[in-house]
Amino acid sequence: MPRSDGRAADQLRPIEIIVDYQRYAEGSALIRYGNTHVLCSATVEAGVPAWLRGQAEPQGWLTAEYALLPRATLTRTRRERNGLGGRTQEIQRLIGRSLRAALDLSLLGERTITIDCDVLQADGGTRTAAITGGYVALARAIQRLLARGELATSPLVTPIAAVSVGIVKGEALLDLDYSEDSIADVDANLVQTGDGRLVELQATAEGSAFDRAQLDLLLRLGEHGIRQLLELQQMVLAAAPPL
């Protein structure tokens, strides 16, 4: 099936990650998955949620917040002033779960890291872009804590990246844009560690049910994309200016 942007079925959109996009955040990254642009920042604060305080073995915490800016989409999206919608809550919990898998929280001390993911422009895959970019912001914040001498050992245990896959008109595709996602028969999001372990798999039959062989195909396709994203993360972090 010809794709709207001419990509091969197993090809990612052009991906760009700009490290230290925000001056004041402990870590930040602007990530572009094609026409999906997400600004990710990591804020480090002393203290942990009440249910983690006073434990015999102190540990830190990581949480995430996600927002879709009003004109990130074709028509204006109203700001969520009267409480978060279900979709927003689900996505930010996914981001938090995914990025906690990158950390040994016992090495963080009694600190909380908040990952803010703000969608500047949406063209499909905002949650996967937020996770991939959020990891870069997180890693940069940890680098800063180590450089300041506030941490003796890095709590990072693995890189994390995410990508969407799906079946559109009978064909398995990697990294769906909105035009593909909106008509997909099967829509899936894959979150993986640097050594290939699954953190989360979300797969839904939007049109017709799918079988195990199709699921295996989507997993292989997603792993192919995530390997490339992990390489890009490490490259941009290695090339970032010293702190």
**Residue spans of alpha helices (H) in 61-107:** 86-100
Query: Model's pTM, two decimal places?
Result: 0.96
Residue type at position 203: A
Query: Which residues neighbour 238 within 8 Å (Cβ) at sequence distance 6 or greater?
Result: none
pLDDT at 1: 67
Of 181, 168, 84, 98, nearest in space to 133 by CA: 98
Of 33, 53, 60, nearest in space to 114 by CA: 60
CB-CB contact of 183 with 236 (8 Å): no
Q: How far apart are the C-alpha atoms of 34 and 94, rounded to whole Å?
A: 22
pLDDT at 82: 85
Q: How far apart are the C-alpha atoms of 6 and 49, rounded to whole Å?
A: 47
**Residue spans of alpha helices (H) in the chain:** 86-100, 126-147, 178-181, 212-239
Query: Which residues does the chain have with pLDDT short of 50?
Result: none
Tokens of 90: 């689900």
Tokens of 191: 């979150």
Work out the angle at residue 68's Cα, subtended by the Cα atoms of residues 65 and 74, and round it to the nearest 5 degrees. Answer: 170
Of 100, 98, 99, 95, nearest in space to 126 by CA: 95
Q: How far apart are the C-alpha atoms of 136 and 160, rounded to whole Å?
A: 9
